[in-house]
Structure formats: structure tokens, C-alpha cells
Structure 1
Amino acid sequence: MKPMKIMMACLLLAASGSALAQEAQPTYSRYRTNWYIGFGLGGGGAVENVDTSVVEEFKGGVSFMFKVGGVINPNWLLGYEVGAVGVFQEIGGNEYQYTIQHHNCVATWFPLDDQGLFLKAGVGLAARSFHLRNEDPQDRKFITGFNTQLGIGVEFQLTRSFNLGAEINATVSALEDERIVNDAYAMLTFSWY
């Protein structure tokens, strides 16, 4: 009987030790609070079309994005995203700055449970500026319009609330002067949930 009691005590001790070890190790299953916030930095470019003819092509720009929103459930996010692609380009001996900005309502979907792959789509407003680099900011003119956005990316959950990711976005903007701007940008993203 005594060996049976010792064996039961050892089993209970091993089981409790195993439970404590499991609690001590962090598990980062796709944990999200009710909101998210993040930003991204990368590169991109744009092509402008008027009447299906390419007017200008801007390459090698810098892109930036800021996002904030709510978590509907672990697979769906809905929020606001502001992004821009800016390019300095020399044309005819003068250096110009080209910028296309996006202000979008974006839905993000994580199709695989507990994985970081996501797809996103958004609609919103766009603003474009093109001016001499050293021009007085008050003299800069913006052309506005509407845009649509599609993106794909992946996030890696590094801590309970912090994610490091990479994403590619493409937008099409229809501006008020009948100009169509197609831009694409890739970036490294930092997100908190």
C-alpha cells in the first residue's frame, strides 16, 4: 500500500509541476484587445494616367502608414488608415516632390485562425500634390478625389500585444481633374493590439 501512496504522490507532484510549467510559458495565440494601433514604413511609387495614357511615372519613393481601429473578432478588424507615398524626382533640371495621400476606412481579414496572414480592402479619400521641392508650403496645391485600396500581408506576434509585419498595398485613386493614380507600396509594419 505504501508504494501505491508514493506513486500517487509522485503523479500528483508531476502533474502539478507540469501545469505550473505550462502556465509559466507564454502562449501567444492570436490575442487581441478591442482596439489596435500601428504604423508602417517602406517604399513605393505611382503611375498617373489621363485618358488611359501614362502622364508621369514616379519610382523609388518612401511610404508611410498609420492605422487605428477596432477589433470586431479575432479574424476581423475595422479601422481608419492614413498613408502616403512621396517621391523626389528631377524633371527638366528642377527637383519636384510628388505625394499621393490616402485616408481610408479599411476592413482587415485574417482568414487562418491563429496565423498572421491577412487581406485588407478599403475605400476613402485621396489627395495628390506635385510641386517644386523648395516651394513655399502655402503655394502647394492639392488635387483631391476618391480611392480604393487592396492589400496583403503577414504579421508575426512577438509578444502578447505587439506584432511585426510586412505588407503590400495597391491603390487606385480617381482625382477631380480626371487623373487616375495607381500606386503601390511595400512596408514593414508595427502593430499593437
Structure 2
Amino acid sequence: MKPTKAGQTVDLEPLRRVLEERFRPRDYREAQELVVGACQEAQRLFGWVPPEAAQLIAEHLGVTTNRIYGLLTFYADFRTEPPGRHFLWICHGAACYVAGAGRLVEFLQERYGITGQGTTPDGALTVHVFNGCLGVCDLAPVAQLDHHEYVGLLSLERLQALIAELQGEAQTEAADGSTE
């Protein structure tokens, strides 16, 4: 499913149906336990958790929107902004840092304003810089594209070419009216 974008009208009916069918708390304590699952459903449906969906979840479960946003901002896997068409995870662990990942992070900040996580202005790419390890340190600095393809020995030039390629795909799809 193509993620909804910021400013785009969100059809909450699919989420409303899922909440009615699967998230029916008997009391406040049970409602608290269902918050994570309800937010996961919203993200599955929309690609992120739009404000309207957070409000609907809060109303349905009888919890505050502060509770919902506290959870959404605590867990790194939840998105409160629309994601890009592609995901790029850049390793900033010790081996990758020593091999030059710091220069890549500086470039992303200078060029796109992305400090730790963010999306390019055209929506082509969401970047997440993390201090973990992808387990292929011999290819440092390394990144993972769309959760499955590794891009190793990632130089600044190679990163720029990759971003340009992904932005070109997004422009072509927009011109063609493609959705996937």
C-alpha cells in the first residue's frame, strides 16, 4: 500500500473497522494494553500514524492523545510523519564511523537537513542514521536500502548517486501517475 502523505485526506474508515473488530477493551487497564497494537494497525494501513488516526485511537480506547503521542515518540519504529518511497538505514556504529560514515551524516544534514532520521523534501527517501550494526563491517561504511539490499563501501559520491537515482524514480513515477 502506498503511504498517505502529509496534507492528504486520510480515510479513517478502514482503521475504524479494525478498531471495532479487534480492539474492544473491557476496562481502562486493558485499553492501555491495546494502545501499541492499535497504533501498529494505523501504521500498517497508512504507512505512518497520521494525527487523525492517533485521535481516533485515543477516542476509541478512552485514553488521552498524550498517551498515544508518548508511545509514538518513544518507540523508534513508529512514524509520525509520512515516510519516503524508499528507506535507507545508514550504520553509524564504530567500524562504519571510522570508515567514513560521519562524512555521510554531515552531507545528509547539510544537503537535506536530515540529522538522525528524516525524509528528503521530494519524499523519495527516508533516511535513518543509527548507532547499531548491520553485521557487515568489512563493507564499512554500509547502509541498508528498503530493508533488504546492502550498500557497502558507501562513499559520499556513491551516496549522492544513489539518492539521485531514487529521486529520479520518484519523479518518473509522479509523471506517469504510478502508485507503486
In the superposition, the TM-score normalised over structure 2's length comes to 0.22
Larger radius of gyration: 1
Higher relative contact order (CA closer than 8 Å, sequence separation 6+): 1
In the superposition, the TM-score normalised over structure 1's length comes to 0.21
Which protein has the bigger helix share? Answer: 2
